[in-house]
Chain A
Amino acid sequence: MATNPMNQFEVYSIGPKIQIGSFDVSFTNASLFMVLTVSIIAIFFVAATQRKSLIPGKLQLLAEMIYEFVSKMISDTAGKDARPYFPFILSLFLFVLVSNMIGMIPYSFTVTSHIIVTFALALFVFVGVTIIGFAKHGLSYFKLFVPSGVPAVLLPLIVVIEIISYLSRPISLSVRLFANMMAGHTMLKVFGGFVVSLGILGGWLPLGFSIALTGLEILVAFLQAYVFAILTCIYLNDALHLHH
């Protein structure tokens, strides 16, 4: 039961069962933690910008730092043209970051350790970026698949590879986040199981490992949110500036 490291990823419904057609849409623990994530972000920003002053307080400083961080990331990777998409990338980054961080609290649930959640986010990014690309460049957006300076003999091969790599973007983007979070949490659980099974005499070594891994996992939780956001910026940059 509790010794199974996969047990923590179980989704179960809270409250009444709601059925629409053949879909079970009851409120689950995953939905609860998504609501929690969004409300934490909303409450934090509302509280931080409540009393705006020229000399910021602690909360306002933190909010400004997050804003500046994402703003700098976008302008570094995607340039000035990506400015209109700032709110989207900020909310994407914060959603992934906060749900990863909530997952680090023991006995809580990590929303991003489920492929369906990350795949929905990644597919949204992919479809959005493709629409932006076609809206901005029209049919010449297909030039993205034809890199310049490639010998004509290699072109049929390269174009196929480019198309496959473009289409696999949502999969790699979502699997990266999902696999990182799931592997990390499974590893923590496995080491926790070692502590219990080795007992008071031998359990100290895995306990130390467990503490070190928790530190690593907090780093990974931040890094994966950062990578998710920065890859979104890079894809956006590809769509906005056709520099192939």
Chain B
Amino acid sequence: MEIEAAKMIGAGLAAIALAGAGVGIGTIFGSYLSGAMRNPSAAQKQFPNLLLGFALAEATGLFGLVVALIILFAF
């Protein structure tokens, strides 16, 4: 296989990381909503934790982007 083509395929495969990030963000917001529905008075206090979890989960998807960039440009 051409090395350029292999690089492109590898970079595309690295984008699969986004699936995990999507599941993670969905789980975080879903769990927050179901928790907030059960106990609305406690919801406001957990909002910073929600944002923290969102940012942490989103970042894992972006690690995939970094891998793709390393494959494309660093080798």
Chain A residues with a Cβ under 8 A of chain B: 172, 175-176, 178-180, 182-183, 220, 223-224, 226-227, 230
Contacts and interface: CB of A to CB of B under 8 A. Distances in A.
Interface of B: 51-52, 54-56, 58-59, 62-63, 65-66
Contacts of A223: 51, 54-55
Contacts, number: 36
8 contacts: A172-B59, A175-B62, A179-B66, A180-B55, A180-B58, A180-B59, A223-B54, A230-B52
Nearest to A173: B59
A183 B58 CA distance: 11
Contacts of A227: 52, 55-56, 59
Nearest to B53: A227
B51 A179 contact: no
A220 B51 CA distance: 10
A224 B62 contact: no
Contacts of A176: 55-56, 59, 62
B56 A179 contact: no
Interface SS of chain B = helix
A182 B66 CA distance: 10
Contacts of A182: 65
Contacts of B54: 223
A230 B55 CA distance: 12
Contacts of A220: 55, 58
A126 B51 CA distance: 23
Given A179-B59, A180-B59, A226 B51 contact: yes
Contacts of A179: 59, 62-63, 65-66
A228 to B, nearest CB: 9
Nearest to B62: A179
Contact of B62 (A183, A226, A230): A183
A180 B65 CA distance: 10
Given A223-B51, A226-B51, A175 B56 contact: no
A159 to B, nearest CB: 24
